[in-house]
Amino acid sequence: MLNGNLAKLKSLFPEVFSENQIDFEKLKLVLGEDNLCAQNERYQLGWAGKSDAYRTLQSPTFNTLAPCVAESVDFHDTQNVFIEAENLEALKILQKSYAGKVKMIYIDPPYNTGSDSFVYPDKFAETRDEYARRVGDKDQDGYLLRDGAFAGAWRKNSKDNGNYHSNWLSMMLPRLHLAKTLLREDGVIFISIDDHEQAQLKLLCDEVFGAENFVATLIWKNGRTSAAHFTHEHENIICYAKSKVELELFKYDGEACVTDRTVKKPSSKNPLSIIEFPAGIEFESEDKVFPNIIGDKEPIKIVKGKFESKNRKLAQPVSLEAAWTMADMIRNWLKGEEVIDQKGQKVRRFFFKSNGVLQYEKEKGTFHPKTIITEFTTKQGSNVLIDLLEDPVFDFPKPPSLVAYLVSFVCSNKNDLILDFFSGSGTTAHAVMQLNAEDGGNRRYICVQLPEETAENSEARKAGFANIAEIAKERIRRAGAQIRRSGMDARQNMPSENADTAAGAVSGINARPTVDTGFKVFKLTESHFKQWRSPADRSSDGLEAQLEIFRDVVEPHATAENMAYELALRLGFKLTDPMVFSDGVVWLDNENGNRKTALLLETVSDGLLSEVSAQNPVKVFALDKAFVGGDALKTNAALQFKDAGIDFETL
């Protein structure tokens, strides 16, 4: 991510780089003093530990994701993904494969109520007194100490902590930055939050996404109440676009249309004009002959011909004079041209009402959702989960109908990808499947959930769930089974040709004309390849020993499948892209079938190299240890693939 941003800056201001380092003094000169503000005089959100949070964002990950087929449903066919992992690491791992691919993100992060837990390893910790001494001291580097240990990171973020808000902001900042890069240019993010951090979150999102990309703050009347001075019965859902100028107005899903009259009172803005209507225009009237003038304040006058309806159509040509509101559009439609109004909405037809007034009917192409949502409640979310899992194993889950509502107008393209990296009980996955069942969509999801331990005496632990990720996976399994049983798949009632079209729109192989209720499970693990570390012993013997360790870069525990998925992610393939194991070769391809790649993870021979070359892949990636014949075989492979125009790389 950092390298990408540096490349963008270098393309704009190459003169401020020297030996690939930024000369900030020269950058100031290039920008000009008028564009710079004095130290400490600019408007900004600051907190103790912010610089360290940015370092957390920029630090690389040495972890990867390993498939867990046994816990998945329809692993080899599904386009949905569930990742059991710390979400900061997961977001970093997904960057190369999913940057610019996600249409919508919905997250429901910890609300920082003072009683919820921060279970993330990038925590910041100091005492209240230390915090008070450090805040405002701009001369020291790194206000807070960071504990990077995964174990033991579970704790309450108490309001008594001096770093109460700072902890939360430092946790959110890197995750939001990484999420932004995953969004498409026309993508949006929804973040559920309550009053504890709503103000801080708004400022943080202004910084990460840009204040100009703020879309709205939705008020969700969740049905819960808590009383102090006021009775609180709502939460906030903040919405930002990655680029608001790229975000089109939300579209109606379905056949929504609107009708209205085409005549107004004559005025300087709407002068009288004459339009000749041919016979055959639709009439919502029984047989009838109309008088010379229809209406009083908005008159329609017969100038030529007879105004008569017969068999629910205009019987003969007639010229009518009126203050037409869309005269040019009417004339163009009468010529047989497609008519699009100023809002980009297509006019389907013009027709006469039973009173003789001309009406239009147009597609209601855009949808303007209200900022107050009253239809869904937390109790509904709890009831849905209890209905599936039979016990109250998760507190205050969001109702799937709420998330489905947001998805329905943002992801009107029914093949969009939705991400939730605070998955909780799996509401987003449930909502996407449910919506697909209702409207025949093929939307896909990626859900990420940390395996946060359930409390020892909780209902979840009593029901057999050791952690929240286990709750989510079981919830998704049962929700999928319920959807299949309920017969809600809209495509079952479609004509066969429509079902085929819908099925063909699914990315990947083995598309089926039914709702995709499967999901691939992946879990966070250390890399299956050794990471170079500078030896503590820098003598020639120490370096030689280190090189000997790296003669084989593959970790002893690595399997071919795990290595294949790690390399696929490194090469930018998605977790659901086709992967085929065949005769010692792992074949990868993307959803469009135009990026065929061969992975050589086992012993290779001249014959195997020739077979791979004959398949004409775009790229061949091989492990050094696969060339048992030594450097000669590897050199021959490089020359053979170069002659064939195939990119070749080894590890």
Per-residue pLDDT tens over the stretch 260-316: 889 999 998 889 999 999 999 999 988 999 999 998 889 999 999 999 999 999 999
- The answer, yes or no, to whether residue 534 has pLDDT greater than 70, is no
Q: What is the C-alpha separation between 591 and 607, in angstroms, rounded?
A: 29
The pLDDT value given to residue 547: 61
Q: Please enumerate in sequence order all residues whose Cβ is within 8 A of that of 20, keeping only pairs 6 or more positions apart, or say none.
A: none
The pLDDT value given to residue 150: 36
**Residue 421: pLDDT band with limits 50, 70, 90:** very high
Mean pLDDT on 627-641: 87
The pLDDT value given to residue 583: 87
Q: Please enumerate in sequence order all residues whose Cβ is within 8 A of that of 288, keeping only pairs 6 or more positions apart, or say none.
A: 308, 309
The pLDDT value given to residue 549: 58
**Residue 630: pLDDT band with limits 50, 70, 90:** confident
pLDDT digits (tens, 9 = 90+) for 177-201: 999 999 999 999 999 998 888 999 9
Of residues 148 and 215, more confidently modeled: 215
Mean pLDDT on 323-343: 91
- The answer, yes or no, to whether residue 255 has pLDDT greater than 80, is no
Of residues 422 and 544, more confidently modeled: 422
Q: What is the C-alpha separation between 238 and 215, in angstroms, rounded?
A: 8
**Residue 395: pLDDT band with limits 50, 70, 90:** confident
- The answer, yes or no, to whether residue 500 has pLDDT greater than 60, is no
Residue identified by tokens 């203050």 is 323
The alpha-carbon radius of gyration of the chain (Å, integer) is 31
In sequence order, the β-bridge partners of residue 84 are 449, 523
Of residues 377 and 12, more confidently modeled: 377
Of residues 365 and 397, more confidently modeled: 397
Q: What is the C-alpha separation between 90 and 450, in angstroms, rounded?
A: 10
The pLDDT value given to residue 576: 97
Of residues 488 and 187, more confidently modeled: 187
- The answer, yes or no, to whether residue 127 has pLDDT greater than 50, is no
The pLDDT value given to residue 205: 96
Task: Give the DSSP letter of residue 402.
Answer: H
The answer to whether the CB of 585 falls within 8 A of the CB of 608 is yes
- The answer, yes or no, to whether residue 153 has pLDDT greater than 50, is no
Best-predicted range by mean pLDDT (453-457, 610-614, 630-634): 610-614
Mean pLDDT of the chain: 84
Helix (H), strand (E) at residue 185: strand 183-193
**Residue 8: pLDDT band with limits 50, 70, 90:** confident
Best-predicted range by mean pLDDT (39-43, 338-342, 494-498, 544-548): 338-342
The pLDDT value given to residue 281: 95
The pLDDT value given to residue 546: 55
**Residue 371: pLDDT band with limits 50, 70, 90:** very high
Amino acid, single-letter form, for residue 376: F
The pLDDT value given to residue 114: 63
- The answer, yes or no, to whether residue 162 has pLDDT greater than 80, is no
Closest listed residue to residue 307, CA positions, set 375, 271, 376, 353? 353
**Residue 498: pLDDT band with limits 50, 70, 90:** very low
pLDDT digits (tens, 9 = 90+) for 15-24: 778 767 888 8
- The answer, yes or no, to whether residue 147 has pLDDT greater than 90, is no
Mean pLDDT on 365-389: 88
32-36, 86-90, 348-352, 546-550 — which is least confidently predicted? 546-550
The pLDDT value given to residue 64: 97
pLDDT digits (tens, 9 = 90+) for 83-99: 999 999 999 999 999 99
Class of domain 37-251+370-520: alpha beta
Mean pLDDT on 406-418: 92
The pLDDT value given to residue 510: 39
155-164, 449-458, 610-619 — which is least confidently predicted? 155-164
Q: Where are the domains of the chain?
A: 37-251+370-520, 257-363, 537-650
Mean pLDDT on 625-631: 80
Q: Please enumerate in sequence order all residues whose Cβ is within 8 A of that of 150, keeping only pairs 6 or more positions apart, or say none.
A: 86, 121
- The answer, yes or no, to whether residue 615 has pLDDT greater than 50, is yes
Best-predicted range by mean pLDDT (152-161, 295-304, 481-490, 506-515): 295-304
The answer to whether the CB of 150 falls within 8 A of the CB of 184 is no
The answer to whether the CB of 515 falls within 8 A of the CB of 499 is no
- The answer, yes or no, to whether residue 575 has pLDDT greater than 90, is yes
pLDDT digits (tens, 9 = 90+) for 214-246: 999 999 998 866 667 888 889 999 999 999 999
| Residues of the chain above pLDDT 90, percent | 57
Mean pLDDT on 133-155: 38
Dihedral, 533, 534, 537, 541 alpha carbons, nearest 10: 90
- The answer, yes or no, to whether residue 355 has pLDDT greater than 50, is yes
The pLDDT value given to residue 221: 92
Give me the long-range contacts of 634-643 (CB less than 8 A, separation at least 24): 636/606, 636/609, 637/604, 637/609, 640/609, 640/610, 640/613, 641/609, 641/613
The pLDDT value given to residue 509: 33
